[in-house]
Amino acid sequence: MKIYSVITGASQGFGKAMALEFAKRKMNLVLIALPNSGLKDVSEFIQQHFAVEVRYLELDLSLVESCYSISKYIKKHQLQIKYLVNNAGVLSRGLFSSLDEQFILRQIDVNVTTPTLLVRLLLGNLKTNAPSGILNISSMASFFALPTKQVYGGTKAYLTSFSKSLAKELKQDNVSVTAICPGGLNTTTRLCYQNRLLGWVSRKSVLNPEDAAVIAVQSLLRRKEVVIPGFINNCLMVLDKILPEFIKDKLANREIKKLPVSIP
């Protein structure tokens, strides 16, 4: 019986790196990403070079019906799902007062509604194939109050909290839930440039997606619950607990001022 891992946002960046990491471990894949995002090429490359079966669906995950399309496809083809990776997400874009209302709603739909609904729709399948696991890609932004990342941070805080609660609930079903909370990732040319503008400590906290993918997949397979990848990021989490609020605000604002207002 073939089993599959479902990965959303798999055509580039962190999602693509995780798809390759799963493929290296000889796991069959169901990859999902936006139309015209290069998903077909990624899927064909993986299938040709790693001797695994790859199915792919080009869908807009800001639409609720896309989640139901994924569920229907899996049921129609009687695919057995071992792992679900909720990676698709919409990043921050600027000051709240300047954000377009439709962008805000789309960010919430992709970052909150979609992973929640996909877990619910695929949970029965995951339970059938237990021991199985869910990997939710959260962010260090879920732990901090950062200007220009207000909606993004809020959605990731939800995802971290959701994952922690769900992990306790599903333990009896032998379905693990892992939330990985990376800091900056060099996933696009523009983000690489923006990350270079950060201070020394913040630059050192940035990871390449390939390195973060190894940590993420290992954490899923080891059934860890909340993971902060990178030594510097873990140090920042400790500092956050001991530094006074006014110092944290000063440090955060200094880093924010170095960034362009708009982040794609």
Q: Catalytic site residues?
A: 152, 156
Nearest to 22 by CA among 34, 39, 37, 10: 10
**C-alpha angle 83-86-89 in degrees, rounded to nearest 5:** 165
Torsion angle, CA of 221/12/59/26, rounded to 10 degrees?
-40
Helix, strand, coil share (%) of the chain residues, nearest 5:
55, 15, 30
Paired residues of 178 in beta bridges: 135
> Which of the 8 DSSP states describes residue 62?
T
Say if CB 32 and CB 10 are below 8 A apart. Answer: yes
Output the CA torsion sign for 113, 128, 212, 67: negative
CA atoms of 59 and 115, how far apart (whole Å): 14
Q: What is the C-alpha separation between 36 and 33, in angstroms, rounded? A: 9
Query: Phi/psi at 159 (nearest 5 deg)?
Result: -65, -40
Report which DSSP code applies to 174. Answer: T
Euclidean distance between CA atoms 93 and 103, whole angstroms: 9
- In the block, tokens 């790196």 appear at 17
Nearest residue to 83 via CA among 41, 39, 37, 25? 25
